[in-house]
């Protein structure tokens, strides 16, 4: 893939998460992709991550990804963003994050997500 193809893919992928298009998000992953988060150090499968995404979409229906930086890498892309939303209790919330995405054959094979753990704890009180 070219650098522009990686960036176009990033637009589609993040747009699908933002709009709640779970089928498109799933299609962006290789079946055996691994997803890792710095907040818990656990490597998730696609199925495990999709369960979290379902919860996330229900819990934060007005989510918005404000992209601060996005760069193509030789094998994927990097994105720094601020996730903005309204929590179920009505509180405005924002969390800084950075994702490093590795791709092969046009799909994600690994996603490493670095979240602001101080801000992510605000979500825990709403279940998961």
What domains lie within the chain, and their CATH numbers? 3-124 (3.10.450.50)
Band (40; pLDDT cuts 50, 70, 90) = confident
SS3 22: helix
Whole-number Å distance between alpha carbons of 80 and 58: 23
pLDDT at 127 over 90: no
Whole-number Å distance between alpha carbons of 107 and 101: 10
The answer to whether the beta carbons of residues 54 and 38 sit under 8 Å apart is: no
Rounded mean pLDDT, 83-110: 94
pLDDT at 126: 62
pLDDT at 91: 87
pLDDT at 43: 95
Band (120; pLDDT cuts 50, 70, 90) = low
pLDDT at 29: 98
Report percent pLDDT > 70 for the chain.
91
């Amino acid at each position: 893939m070219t650098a522009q193809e990686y960036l176009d893919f990033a637009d589609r992928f993040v747009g699908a998460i933002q709009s709640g298009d779970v089928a498109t998000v799933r299609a962006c992953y290789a079946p055996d992709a691994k997803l890792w988060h710095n907040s818990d150090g656990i490597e998730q499968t696609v199925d495990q991550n999709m369960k979290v995404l379902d919860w996330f979409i229900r819990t934060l229906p007005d989510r918005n990804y404000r992209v601060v930086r996005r760069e193509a890498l030789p094998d994927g892309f990097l994105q720094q963003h601020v996730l903005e939303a309204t929590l179920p209790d009505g509180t405005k919330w924002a969390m800084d994050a950075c994702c490093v995405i590795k791709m092969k054959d046009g799909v994600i094979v690994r996603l490493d997500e670095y979240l602001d753990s101080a801000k992510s704890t605000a979500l825990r009180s709403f279940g998961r």
